[in-house]
Amino acid sequence: MNKLKLYWSLQIGGWFAFAFVQTLGFLLFGDNKISAFQISFWVLEALVFLISTHLFRNFVIAKNWLALNMASLIPRIVVSVFVLAVAVYVLRMLISVPLGMYSPTIAWSFSNLLGLSSVYALIFFLWSVLYFIYHYFERYNISLKHQAAINEIELNNLRSQLNPHFIFNALNSIRALVDENPKKSKHSITQLSNILRNSLVSDKKTVTRFDEELKIVKDYLGLETIRFEERLKTSFDIHPDSNMFFVPPLMLQTLVENGVKHGISKLKEGGSINLKTIVEEDKFKIQIRNSGIFKLNGTSRNKPGLGLKNTRQRLELLFGDNASLQIFNESPNVVLTELIIPQNKYESTNS
């Protein structure tokens, strides 16, 4: 059912249910027998309410009241419902004339005018509350869907930028081995094949299991170890519960690659990469330590690359303020990259 059909179904059904309730109430609690004129009066009264609320809806849309904040909206609604109440009271009197139910003494008594107008104002106010609440939640849902679509587009763009970045660096590693050691280069091609296979699968995922991501990191470091030989040493300190958690695809590989590119590759003697995971009550920490210097005299030695920029954007899109990425000098010759993500937040995504 589209919005227009839903609106008219609720309008017609609601107001004529209002007429039915009045008729039923008179039958149950009235002193006199009900007449056809009285039923006609309540039906016409319901029609007046229907037309009045529909005209009020058009007025609200024309004046763009749906975009107003509460402080501006509430006074307008209060005034409007009392104006509508008085207008409906007058129209009600006009309807009663041809039905033979009009009595000037009763119709224009101050107490009757004030009492019924107040009741009508309350009815219109309740109608307005329901109408504005419906549109508020509708706009809120549209906003959520719109933001989710934007996030998905941005994530896809970020992933599409990371893949060429990763492949370029991996191929450079293999190229350095082809002439000097064909056997090792063949092995490195197998490792790259594993990485690319996982990369193609990960493009369809928002997050992936940590153990799957760790395999990519180990294959990548295997490639780099062949290129750097003794200049690169690797070690892993993985918490036993780490495999139950999920991380964004290729994010760890990007951070490890950053440590190799901006840390170890700058050192003549080379260095080491250590990957450690820590499981806490509500957080999953991943720490990557690499030899090198992140800052020199308080200034970043290297400008953040595309990989780190995309990593921060992806974390913000996926986890908001619940995730963080920090890179700093843990000691004079060791750079610590610490990634903190919420535990199990996206476990159901890939179930």
Condensed to tens digits (0 to 9), the pLDDT of residues 6-37 reads 888 888 988 888 888 877 877 777 656 677 77
Judge if 187 and 285 occupy the same domain. Answer: yes
Domain-located, residue 196: yes
Give the span between the Cα atoms of 316 and 208, in whole angstroms: 17
Judge if 229 and 280 occupy the same domain. Answer: yes
Q: What is the pLDDT of residue 233?
A: 92
Q: What is the pLDDT of residue 349?
A: 42
Radius of gyration of the chain (CA): 35
Judge if 187 and 332 occupy the same domain. Answer: yes
What are the structure tokens assigned to 33, written together? 């027998």
Counting the structural domains of the chain, the total is 2
Domain-located, residue 318: yes
Taking 50 as the pLDDT cut, the residues of the chain under it are: 162, 297-303, 345-351
Q: What is the pLDDT of residue 163?
A: 54
- By DSSP bridging, strand 334-342 and strand 324-331 are antiparallel
Q: What is the pLDDT of residue 273?
A: 93
Please identify which residue in the block is written with the tokens 């993985």: 238
Judge if 16 and 97 occupy the same domain. Answer: yes
Domain-located, residue 254: yes
CA distances from 97 to 15, 57, 91, 104, 163 (A): 22, 28, 10, 10, 79
Domain-located, residue 160: no
Strands in 98-159 per DSSP E: none
CATH number at residue 213: 3.30.565.10
Judge if 216 and 343 occupy the same domain. Answer: yes
- The residue out of 115, 144, 173 marking a domain boundary is 144
Domain-located, residue 259: yes
Domain-located, residue 150: no
Domain-located, residue 151: no
Any idea what DSSP says for residue 130?
H
Domain limits for position 43: 3-144
Judge if 87 and 199 occupy the same domain. Answer: no
Judge if 199 and 129 occupy the same domain. Answer: no
Judge if 36 and 134 occupy the same domain. Answer: yes
Judge if 41 and 94 occupy the same domain. Answer: yes
Judge if 249 and 107 occupy the same domain. Answer: no
Give the span between the Cα atoms of 124 and 170, in whole angstroms: 68
Judge if 195 and 109 occupy the same domain. Answer: no
Q: What is the pLDDT of residue 277?
A: 95
